[in-house]
Chain A
Amino acid sequence: MAAENEASQESALGAYSPVDYMSITSFPRLPEDEPAPAAPLRGRKDEDAFLGDPDTDPDSFLKSARLQRLPSSSSEMGSQDGSPLRETRKDPFSAAAAECSCRQDGLTVIVTACLTFATGVTVALVMQIYFGDPQIFQQGAVVTDASSCTALGMEVLSKQGSSVDAAVAAALCLGIVAPHSSGLGGGGVMLVHDIRRNESHLIDFRESAPGALREEALQRSWDTKPGLLVGVPGMVKGLHEAHQLYGRLPWSQVLAFAAAVAQDGFNVTHDLAHALAEQLPPNASDRFLDTFLPLGHPPLPGSLLRRPDLAEVLDILGTSGPAAFYNGGNLTLEMVAEAQHAGGVITEEDFSNYSALTEKPVCGVYRGHLVLSPPPPHTGPALISALNILEGFNLTSLVSREQALHWVAETLKIALALASRLGDPVYDSTITESMDDMLSKVEAANFRGHISDSQAAPAPLLPVYELDGAPT
């Protein structure tokens, strides 16, 4: 009876002991003709209950497990004459072994499923990192000439707008808040650099001369006919081009940010108040005075100014795109009429012919850094030339500031003289050659050789042509 109980326990543990599965499966086999035990082997449920019985003494459990392992550790079964165990040809645990086999298959399925799932999740995460929108708002910075436009740029970034979206909104905002320095009727240049790809594009939306503009007309009456000074504005096409290349938010949404500034009003900046007080254009029209001096005198810094007219223009541009500005609509007709009324020669055709240029910036290497700047007709090459000249001086923190200032002054004289030779390369092929010279380190070393460490040059080293004759 004790042996039967032991066999019963043995079978129970043989199938489910957590101690050593391989050892247990090498237990001595029982004979096929072994009489059925008085107490039947426990069924699966009973065994589960046994193993799961919280009242089972853990010490006796382990003791019995050790006892059952003893025979299997013997290499000579026949020497155990006193043992109640006999050799058998049939595995009494065949059912249990088959069950184990099934359980092994189940384990394989589970492991395979887990691995597949984990691989899928990993691949999805990697793809999200590289191709998806950033889930964590990282660092960024915006700087503009007006705090309200800086805040607007930050707002665009916070709404998952791209850097170019933020720049476009901020630039339009400046056209509202700082009308003395920029606006829809002007132009500019934008340099965009992609850090990851090390790619740069320059979008040049500088104004171009009207088709009917002649030097003689300007020479004769530029100061009495302000309409002659009006070039074809590039701002709208340039910003739209930048947005087409790099925008993430819809064009209409980006313009709506700026339109809200014009509609809701803004605080007059110190700079605008100063310009309205001291730099009003000569013969300012009634419309100009009504718009910017609504109370009849220059506004104080901080006072509220609204521009619902510009809000409406921005809404139209947001809906219709640059075509509303350039393709002969009301906005085009108004600008042409206003300029022609003031002696200008600009036409609707000039507007429809205008296009912003997308090109590569000029670049130079200065002390291990790549410096990117606009090509002609902008004076980026002169800036790089100045850096190339300065690179050869022993400019360190050990050199006195005064000595460094002297070198800088002499270098800038050369760079500015070089800048005065530049112009639009589309109209003069020699400008490309001048530009190549300016970017050359050898040429820079040549210029540096003409700079004295102790004396300012009495006369310019290079011929100087007219530079910024008018205040900008």
Chain B
Amino acid sequence: AAQVLVMGPDDFIVAMVSSLNRPFGSGLLTPSGILLNSQMLDFSWPNRTANHSAPSLENSVQPGKRPLSFLLPTVVRPAEGLCGTYLALGANGAARGLSGLTQVLLNVLTLNRNLSDSLARGRLHPDLQSNLLQVDSEFTEEEIEFLEARGHHVEKVDVLSWVHGSRRTNTFIIGVKDPRSPDAAGATIL
């Protein structure tokens, strides 16, 4: 999925996530150069996956229906008043994106870390089908050992998801990319 986050001088926050599903979508390219998506893969139907997980009736294929989506552009603002922290966040990586967003929000709003640090810290994701707890390369061996001691089956992977963000505190605004992404960029007007 591709992410766009904007906090403009007009006091609007825009968070957008778009997708073609698989890389290059269906791989079908029209003569005009439009790549067609493969989004119907996000529906659920019996015997689709090797792990034979139960299909979701709520997410079954029906004409005109939109499939389940983990595209989660997220905005945070103070619950009361105007003063405080505003956030715009986006994530890729499907279900791993939900895990990533949760942990970034926790870092910023609970542990009071700055946005750059919050995006950079290691993240985990429980893969429910395999019952493995995936952790990214930022995790230390001590952390992995602790989790294993608690009964988690840990699998280390390079990257789980990219979470980008923008933060506004009163009139100070900053845009920050996930350091795991080689090409993303955040720019701020000072």
Contact = CB atoms under 8 A, between A and B. Distances in A.
A368 B112 CA distance: 13
A402 B146 contact: yes
Contacts of A380: 72, 74
B63 A423 contact: no
A76 interface: no
B64 A209 contact: yes
Contact-residue bracket for chain B: 35 or more
A222 B41 contact: yes
Given A137-B189, A141-B174, A208-B65, A187 B37 contact: yes
B98 A413 contact: no
Given A409-B124, A466-B53, A213 B61 contact: yes
Given A183-B20, A467-B129, A193 B12 contact: yes
B74 A246 contact: no
B36 A144 contact: no
A204 interface: yes
B149 to A, nearest CB: 9
Interface in A356-411: 361, 365-374, 376-380, 382-383, 386-387, 390, 395-397, 401-402, 404-406, 408-409, 411
Interface in A280-306: 280-285, 287-288, 291
Interface in B29-88: 29-49, 53-80, 82, 84-86
B101 A383 contact: yes
B114 to A, nearest CB: 13
B20 A182 contact: yes
B109 interface: yes
B46 to A, nearest CB: 7
A166 interface: yes
A257 to B, nearest CB: 13
A185 interface: yes
Nearest to B105: A387
B55 to A, nearest CB: 5
A141 B109 contact: no
B43 A209 contact: yes
**Max chain B Cβ within 10 angstroms of own Cβ: one of A207, A361, A466:** A466
A208 B36 CA distance: 13
A390 B111 CA distance: 12
B86 A195 contact: yes
A204 B46 CA distance: 27
Given A143-B184, A215-B60, A423-B68, A383 B102 contact: yes
The SS class assigned to the A binding surface is mixed
Contact-residue bracket for chain A: 35 or more
B77 A198 contact: yes
A164 B10 CA distance: 10
A186 B39 contact: yes
A105 interface: no
A470 interface: yes
Given A137-B189, A456-B151, A472-B19, A162 B8 contact: yes
Interface in B137-190: 142-143, 146-147, 150-152, 162, 164-166, 168, 171-177, 181-190
Given A142-B187, A147-B185, A469-B44, A227 B18 contact: no
Contacts of B174: 141
B102 A386 contact: yes
A175 B2 CA distance: 9
Contacts of B171: 138-139
A14 interface: no
Given A187-B19, A366-B105, A145 B40 contact: no
Contact of A472 (B8, B22, B40, B98): B22
Contacts of B124: 405, 408-409, 412
Contacts of B35: 179, 183-186
B120 interface: no
Nearest to A316: B32
Contacts of A330: 32
Interface string A184-228: 111111111111101010001011111111110011001000111
A207 B71 CA distance: 12
Contacts of B5: 141-144
A214 to B, nearest CB: 7
Contacts of B188: 139-141
Contacts of A212: 63
Contacts of B184: 143-147, 150
A211 to B, nearest CB: 4
Nearest to B126: A413
A229 B48 contact: no
Interface stretch (A44-52, A94-102, A334-342): A334-342
Interface in A423-463: 423-424, 426-428, 430-431, 434, 454-456, 458, 460, 463
Contact of A137 (B9, B79, B175): B9
Given A139-B188, A269-B182, A281-B24, 18 more contacts: A139-B173, A140-B173, A141-B5, A143-B165, A149-B4, A151-B185, A157-B6, A163-B12, A180-B20, A195-B82, A204-B66, A353-B64, A369-B78, A371-B76, A377-B68, A395-B106, A402-B147, A423-B67
23 contacts: A141-B173, A143-B177, A144-B5, A153-B187, A163-B7, A175-B18, A181-B2, A182-B20, A185-B20, A185-B30, A186-B37, A187-B18, A189-B71, A193-B77, A214-B61, A229-B38, A374-B71, A386-B98, A395-B110, A397-B112, A426-B65, A460-B128, A471-B23
Q: Which 9 A-B pairs have the closest CB atoms?
A: A281-B27, A188-B18, A141-B175, A163-B8, A309-B33, A423-B58, A147-B185, A465-B56, A456-B151
